[in-house]
Amino acid sequence: MPPRRTRKTTRRATNKASNPQNDSTPQQVGNTPQHERVVNPASDTQTGQQELDLGQVMQTIVGLIQMQQQMQQQLLQQQAQLPQRQPQQGRGEQCEQRSSIAEFMRLAPPAFKGTTEPLEADNWLTEMEKAFAVLRCQDDEKILFASYIMQGEAFNWWRMLEHKYEQDREPLTWKKFRGAFYDKYFPQSVRMQKEQEFIHLKQRNMTVAEYEVKFIELAKFVPKLVEDELDQAHKFEMGLKTEIRKQVVPYELTTYAAVVNKALIIKRKVNDERLERERNQKKRNRSNEFQGQSNENAESSNKKSTSDNPKQMNINKCSRCGKAHADKDCHWNTGACFRCGKICHKIADCL
C-alpha cells in the first residue's frame, strides 16, 4: 500500500512541471476574467477627448440655430418696412407701368389739347385729380398719366416744361406741374376776376339750387374766404334773396349744408304762398268782372225802361250806387247777388 501513494504524488508533481502556465493563469471572479477589470490610462484619455469634441459640436449647432433665428427676424422686419407697391427692375418695371396706364385709361379720362377758356382747363385738371385719387397715384405717376393724354398744343407745352426742369436739374413734382399749368391756361388776371365774382355773388334771379352751384364753382378760387365752415355758411346766407334771407337768419345756422337745406325749404314755402296769392287774385278778378257785367246790364235795362216809360224819369236815384231804385232795394244794402238778385249767395258763387 505505501508504494501506491508515492506514485500518485509523483504523478501530480510531474503534471505541474509539464504545464507551468497553470500557475500564471488568472483566476475568474464569477463569469468575468480577472484581466478585464484592469484600468487602462490611454483608454481613459481617448474617452475624455471624445466627450470634449461632442460638447463643442453641440455648442456650434446651438449657435447656428440662434443665428438663423436672428436672420429670420431681421428679414421679417425688413419686409414689414417695405412699401406695398414696389416696381420691379427691367422688364417687370415696364409691365407695372403698362398695367397702371391701362387702369388709368379704363377710367376714360378726357384728352386735353389746350384751350383759351380758363374754366375748361380747370375742369380738365379737376377730372385728372379725381382719377388720381381713385388709383392712389404717386407724384411721378400723376405727371406721367396727365402728360400721356395731352395732345397738340398742350403736349408741346408739356415738352417745353419737361425740358426746362431737365436743364435746371430740378425734380418736377405734381404741385409744380399744377402751378405751371394754371399759369399757362388759367392766368392770375382771370383768377382775380373769379375772386371778385365770388365776393359780389348774389342770388338775384337764380334759384337756390342754381345759386349754390355758382357758389361752389367760384369758391375754389378763394379758398381762404371759405376755409372756415361758419364763414362759408354766412357768405352763402348773405347772398340769398331778401325774402328768403329774412326767414333763414333767425335760425342762426352754423354749417353750410344746414343753411342750403333751410334756404331750399323756405324757397318752396315762398313759392307756394305766391301761387296761392295768384289764385286768390284770379278769383277776385273774376268776381269784379261778373259784378261789372251785372251793373252794366242793370243800367242798360234801367235806361231802356225809363225811356219807354216817361213817368219813371221822376224816380229818385239810389244814394249808394246812383241807379234808378230806392235805397232799400239796392243790392249793396240788401247783400243780394248782383247777377240774379238772390240773398243766399254772392256773385262770385253764382252759377
Q: In angstroms, rounded to a whole number, what is the distance separating the alpha carbons of residues 326 and 318?
A: 5
- My answer on whether 289 and 267 are in the same domain is no
If one counts the domains in the chain, the total is 3
- My answer on whether 131 and 165 are in the same domain is yes
pLDDT on residue 105: 92
Residue found by looking up cell 501530480 in the block: 12
Q: Which of 159, 186, 213 is the last residue of a domain?
A: 186
Mean pLDDT of 296-306: 59
Long-range CB pairs of 279-287 (<8 Å, 24+ gap) are 283/348, 286/348, 287/346, 287/347, 287/348
Run of H or E including 64:
helix 41-81
The angle at the Cα of 28, spanning 23 to 31, to the nearest 5 degrees, equals 150
Does residue 152 have a pLDDT over 90?
A: yes
Does residue 30 have a pLDDT over 60?
A: no
- My answer on whether 176 and 201 are in the same domain is no
Higher pLDDT, residue 255 or 344: 255
Does residue 254 have a pLDDT over 60?
A: yes
Provide the β-strand partners of residue 28. 33
Does residue 25 have a pLDDT over 70?
A: no
Q: Would residue 76 count as lying in a domain?
A: no
**Res. 85 pLDDT band, cuts 50 70 90:** very low
Q: In angstroms, rounded to a whole number, what is the distance separating the alpha carbons of residues 320 and 344?
A: 21
Q: Which residues contact 125 (CB under 8 A, 6 or more apart)?
A: 178, 181, 182
Q: Would residue 202 count as lying in a domain?
A: yes
**pTM, whole model, 2 decimals?**
0.48
Mean pLDDT of 162-189: 92
- My answer on whether 260 and 290 are in the same domain is no
Q: Would residue 57 count as lying in a domain?
A: no
- Cell numbers at residue 263, please? 334756404
Q: Which of 276, 311, 327 is the last residue of a domain?
A: 276
Q: Would residue 6 count as lying in a domain?
A: no
Radius of gyration in angstroms for the set of CA atoms belonging to the chain, rounded to a whole number: 58
- My answer on whether 180 and 226 are in the same domain is no
Q: Would residue 81 count as lying in a domain?
A: no
Asked whether 331 and 320 are in contact (CB, 8 A), the reply is: no
pLDDT on residue 191: 87
pLDDT tens for 277-291 read 888 888 787 777 666
- My answer on whether 104 and 171 are in the same domain is yes
Q: Would residue 173 count as lying in a domain?
A: yes
* Domain encompassing residue 154: 99-186
**Res. 93 pLDDT band, cuts 50 70 90:** very low
Q: Would residue 175 count as lying in a domain?
A: yes
Q: Which of 128, 153, 186 is the last residue of a domain?
A: 186
Does residue 324 have a pLDDT over 80?
A: no
- My answer on whether 182 and 103 are in the same domain is yes
Higher pLDDT, residue 207 or 334: 207
Higher pLDDT, residue 26 or 235: 235
What is the share, in percent, of the chain residues with pLDDT greater than 90?
40
pLDDT tens for 203-244 read 999 999 999 999 999 998 888 888 899 999 999 999 999 999
Asked whether 125 and 117 are in contact (CB, 8 A), the reply is: no
Q: Would residue 60 count as lying in a domain?
A: no
- My answer on whether 167 and 216 are in the same domain is no
- My answer on whether 230 and 257 are in the same domain is yes
- My answer on whether 182 and 216 are in the same domain is no
Cβ burial of 337 (10 Å; 0-12, 13-18, 19+) is: buried
Does residue 108 have a pLDDT over 80?
A: yes
pLDDT tens for 43-74 read 555 666 666 677 777 888 887 888 777 777 76
Cβ burial of 132 (10 Å; 0-12, 13-18, 19+) is: buried
- My answer on whether 257 and 285 are in the same domain is no
